[in-house]
Amino acid sequence: MNPGYILVVDDEPDIRRLMQEILEDEHYKVSAVENAAAAREAVKKQRPDLVLLDIWMPGTDGISLLREWSQAGPLEMPVIMISGHGTVETAVEATRLGAYDFIEKPVSMGKLLVTIERALENDKLRRENLRLRRQAEPAATLTGKSALMQQLRDNIERIAATDAGVLIAGEAGSGKAVAARYLHAHSARKDHPFVEVSLTAVTPAHAAAQLFGQESKGAVTPGCFEQAAGGTLLLNEIGGLDLATQARLLDALEQKRFTRVGGHEPIPLDARVIAASDQDLLKAVEEKRFREDLYYRLNVVPLRVPSLREHHEDVPELINFYVNWMADNEHLAYRKFTTGALNLLRNYSWPGNVRELRNVVQRLLILHRGEEVTEAEVEQTLGNPAPVSPESYPPTLMEMPLRDARDQFEKAYLEHHLKRTGGNVAEVARLSGMERTHLYRKLKQLGVNPKPPKE
């Protein structure tokens, strides 16, 4: 991949030309402009990876332009100041405004190339540290030795060798974002940013600006596509995106370029786009809530992350992973799970999937003491109900004919387990000990909807 895009801002044509030729020989992509106005336009068109900025220029000088860029917050790119008439005060002011370094003319090209290399490496480390701090999951890995998880990892590694679009499906909390990070980590883009945006948390009024960036009164705010340049962008809960922004997203994916909100210059789209959803997007297409053409554009390679119920044999390994991670990173006391506790957790239905398991492990480490996590602690944490005495049933139930009372109990029992398993009929059949065909007949007889209403 290209080592970086550099913007040279200098009013002397010979210096601009010399720098451009030398930097292009080093395989950098280079734009060279003569003043602050042209520099503003160049940055609007495409954010550079680094700027070489002359201080003394007609009109707006380099320090004033640097101050203008820094007013919106920390600089989005490293800036190296260059001057033939530098003073200590100027160098101090440039550093205060966020410049990476200050080089005097005549410029030693050897020194300049080393400074550029160090600045780009420093910026790469800064972005990586920021990415790690923002990362919601503790590791970009998919834990589990079950056949399902081994197959999932194999599929992702094959997909990662391509640059095709991916649509990840799976229940809430099953690890779709972790799967996306695993894919990024095994791709050719792994040394570039991984950016995740949750579209359920973005209002329709701000969705386009969040994704594509914004220009207003000369100020530029980069969006997720620019932040993910060269890397991977995860559009989490893509089903929450409004129809107008869906249309704009489709156009960007098809044209391989986009414009910022309020802007006019097209910007190249250089990010792999992965979408994820726990919704039935095909149903959303049928109900006209999601564009059919966007669905097929995103769904080039479909990938499904299984629910934890489908690979419950991995529960002990996941528990061990989270216990060790929380002990090392959250400074919680290490506790060993007894065999009874592990068996209870392995057989639990996990309606909230891996996210719920992580929360349960964290709760057990925080709220309880002792070297071991016992079965009783797990029962208390999961909220398993205590045995019910006949006196606790409603009097009306005890006065009914046995058949009616039995039907009412069975209806309540099945509704409880359907809600607990998120409507997974196969899991309810396992928990109740019923054959699935018989269970479907029973649900129909009792008028029970297998898909419980959303709360």
Q: Return per-residue pLDDT of the chain as tens, 455 residues.
A: 457 899 999 999 999 999 999 999 999 999 999 999 999 888 877 889 999 999 988 889 999 999 888 876 667 789 999 987 767 788 788 888 889 988 888 888 888 999 999 999 888 877 766 655 555 445 546 899 999 999 999 999 999 999 999 999 999 889 999 999 999 999 999 888 899 998 876 777 889 999 999 887 767 788 899 989 999 999 999 998 999 999 999 999 999 999 999 888 899 999 999 999 998 999 999 999 999 999 999 999 999 999 999 999 999 999 999 998 888 878 888 999 999 999 999 989 999 999 999 999 999 998 878 889 999 899 888 875 444 445 545 666 667 787 777 778 788 888 877 877 777 787 787 777 777 777 888 888 888 887 655 44
CATH code 3.50.50.60 for 392-446: no
Q: Which two tokens stand for residue 84?
A: 């033939």
DSSP string, 271-334: SEEEEEESS-HHHHHHTTSS-HHHHHHHTTEEEEPPPGGGGGGGHHHHHHHHHHHHHHHS-PPP
* pLDDT on residue 211: 94
Question: How far is 272 from 154, CA to CA, in rounded Å?
Answer: 19
pTM of the predicted structure, to 2 decimals = 0.61
147-304: CATH superfamily: P-loop containing nucleotide triphosphate hydrolases (3.40.50.300)
Q: Is 5-134's fold the same as 311-382's?
A: no
* pLDDT on residue 258: 94
Fold category of 311-382 in CATH: Helicase, Ruva Protein; domain 3 (1.10.8)
- In CATH, the number for domain 5-134 is 3.40.50.2300
* pLDDT on residue 256: 94
Closest residue by Cα to residue 377 from 350, 322, 337: 337
Q: Where are the domains of the chain?
A: 5-134, 147-304, 311-382, 392-446
* pLDDT on residue 136: 42
Q: Which two tokens stand for residue 395?
A: 């009097």
Q: 3-class secondary structure for 190-254? A: CCCCEEEEEHHHCCHHHHHHHHHCEEECCEEECCHHHHCCCCEEEEECHHHCCHHHHHHHHHHHH
Contacts by 27-33 with C-beta closer than 8 Å and gap 24+?
A: 27/2, 27/3, 28/2, 28/3, 28/4, 28/116, 29/2, 29/4, 29/5, 30/5, 30/6, 31/5, 31/6, 31/7, 32/7, 32/8, 33/7, 33/8, 33/9
